[in-house]
């Protein structure tokens, strides 16, 4: 399967822009794509929204305190394999 990575670097964006941009991308995600988001904080409202909409996600904080968050609609995709941490 060829997956399309959609990168959202929200590290320089001010609230509420990271949430707004991520929601727009999630609304457009298909089964062959995933959102890879970089964020300064753990985006709890976004994670809750994604869970309620049936998305699968994984997140990990790196050594620079940057959050790497991946979202997909396809439950068969192993997001852990796609983490760049």
Domain CATH for 55: 3.30.110.40
Per-residue pLDDT at 2: 86
- Per-residue pLDDT of the chain (85 residues), as tens digits, is 689 999 999 999 999 999 999 999 999 999 899 999 999 999 999 999 999 999 999 999 999 999 999 999 999 999 999 998 8
The percent helix, strand, coil of the chain (3-state, each to 5) is 30, 30, 40
pLDDT at position 1 is 65
* Predicted pLDDT at 26: 98
Number of independent structural domains in the chain: 1
CA dihedral 7, 9, 15, 20 (to 10 degrees): -10
CA distance 25 to 20: 9
Stated pTM of the model:
0.95
**What range does the domain containing 55 cover?**
4-82
Report, in angstroms and rounded to the nearest whole number, the Rg of the chain calculated over CA atoms. Answer: 12
Which pLDDT score is estimated for 33?
A: 95
The three-class DSSP label of residue 68 is strand
């Amino acid at each position: 399967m060829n997956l399309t990575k959609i990168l959202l670097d929200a590290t320089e964006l001010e609230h509420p822009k990271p949430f707004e941009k991520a929601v727009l991308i999630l609304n457009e995600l298909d089964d062959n794509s995933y959102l890879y988001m970089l964020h300064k904080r753990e985006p709890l409202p976004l994670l809750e929204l994604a869970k309620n909409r049936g998305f699968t996600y994984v997140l990990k904080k790196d050594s620079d305190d940057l959050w790497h968050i991946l979202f997909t609609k396809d439950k068969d995709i192993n997001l852990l394999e796609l983490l760049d941490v």
